[in-house]
Amino acid sequence: MATLMVPENLVYERPRSFTDAPTHYCPGCTHGVAHRLIAEVLDEMGLAERTIGVAPVGCAVFAYNYFDTDFVEAAHGRAPAMATGIKRVLPDSIVFTYQGDGDLASIGMGEIVHAAARGENITVFFINNANYGMTGGQMAPTTLPGMKTTSSPDGRDVETQGYPIRMAEMLATLDGAAYVVRRSLHDPANIRKAKKAIRIAFEVQDRKLGFSMVELLSTCPSNWNLSPVESLKWLEEHMIPFFPLGDYKVAPAVAELKI
Amino acid sequence: MARELWEGNQAIAEAASRVGLEAYFGYPITPQNEILEWMSRRLPELGRAFVQAESELGAINMVYGAACTGARVMTSSSSPGISLMMEGLSYIAGTEVPMVLVNVMRGGPGLGNIAPSQADYNQICKGGGHGDYHPIVLAPASVQEAVDLMPVAFDLAEKYLNICCILIDGSIGQMMEPVELPEMRPVQRKDFPWAVTGAKGRPRRILSSIYLDPPEEEKTNLRLLRRWQEVQEKELRYKEYFTDDADFIVIGFGTAGRVALSAVRAARAQGIKVGLFRPITVAPFPYKRVAELAQRVGAFLVVEMNAGQMLEDVRLAVNGSIPIEFYGRLGGVVPFPDEILSEIQRVAKAKLSADADPIANWMKRMEMVAR
Q: Which residues of B touch A71 (CB under 8 A)?
A: 196, 204-208
Task: Give the pLDDT mean for A30-40.
Answer: 98
Closest CA to A139 of A125, A160, A127, A153: A153
Q: What is the pLDDT, as a whole number, of residue A11?
A: 87
Question: DSSP secondary structure string, B125-137?
Answer: HT--SSSS---EE
CB-based contact B103:B170 (threshold 8 Å) = no
Is pLDDT at A41 greater than 80 in this prediction?
yes
Where along chain B do its domains lie?
Answer: 4-234, 238-370
Beta strands in chain A (DSSP E): 51-55, 70-73, 94-100, 123-128, 131-132, 138-139, 177-184, 211-217, 246-250
Instruction: Look over chain A and give the mean of its residue pLDDT values, rounded to a whole number.
Output: 96
Residues of B in contact with A52 (CB under 8 A): 69, 196-198
- In this prediction, what percent of chain A has a pLDDT beyond 70? 99
Which residues in chain B land under pLDDT 50? none
Q: Kindly determine whether residue B206 and residue A51, on different chains, have CB atoms separated by under 8 Å.
A: no
| Interchain contact, A61 vs B64, CB within 8 Å | no
Interchain proximity A82–B71, CB inside 8 Å = no
Tell me whether the CATH fold assigned to B4-234 matches the one assigned to B238-370.
yes
pTM, whole model, 2 decimals? 0.96
Q: What percent of chain A has pLDDT over 90?
A: 95
Contact yes or no for A99/A55 (Cβ under 8 A): no
Chain B, residues 41-60, CB within 8 A of chain A, namely 49, 51, 53-55, 57-59
**B4-234 is a CATH 3.40.50.970 domain:** yes
Inter-chain contact B208–A89, Cβ cutoff 8 Å? no
pLDDT, residue A259, reads: 81
Q: A90 and B209 in contact by Cβ < 8 A?
A: no
pLDDT value of position A7: 74
Domains and CATH numbers, chain A: 31-149+163-255 (3.40.50.970)
B47-93, pLDDT tens digit by residue?
A: 999 999 999 999 999 999 999 999 999 999 999 999 999 999 999 99
What confidence score (pLDDT) does residue A2 get?
60
Using CA coordinates, name the residue in chain B closest to A81: B62
Residues of B in contact with A69 (CB under 8 A): 198-199, 204
B210/A72 Cβ within 8 A: no
Residue range A29-50: mean pLDDT, rounded = 98
Determine contact, residues B220/B211, Cβ cutoff 8 Å: yes
Tens of pLDDT, residues A118-145: 999 999 999 999 999 999 999 999 999 9
Residue A1: per-residue pLDDT: 54
Q: Identify the residue among A89, A104, A111 best suited for mutation to test binding to B, counting B beta carbons within 10 A and taking the highest.
A: A89
Question: How large is the ipTM?
Answer: 0.95
Q: Which of A17, A67, A88 is the best mutation test for B, with the most CBs of B within 10 A?
A: A88
Query: Residue A71 above 90 pLDDT?
Result: yes
Q: Which fold has domain B238-370?
A: Rossmann fold (3.40.50)
Is B208 close to A72, i.e. CB distance below 8 A?
yes
- Whether A5 has a pLDDT exceeding 80, the answer reads no
State pLDDT tens for residues B257-281.
999 999 999 999 999 999 999 999 9
Cβ–Cβ below 8 Å for A84 and B51: yes
CA distance B100 to chain A (A): 14
Give one DSSP letter per residue of A110-145, joined into a string. HHHHHHHHTT-S-EEEEEE-SEETTTTSEE-TTPPT
The verdict on a CB contact (< 8 Å) between A72 and B22 is no
Task: Answer whether residue A88 shows pLDDT above 70.
Answer: yes
Question: A171-199: per-residue pLDDT in tens?
Answer: 999 999 999 999 999 999 999 999 999 99
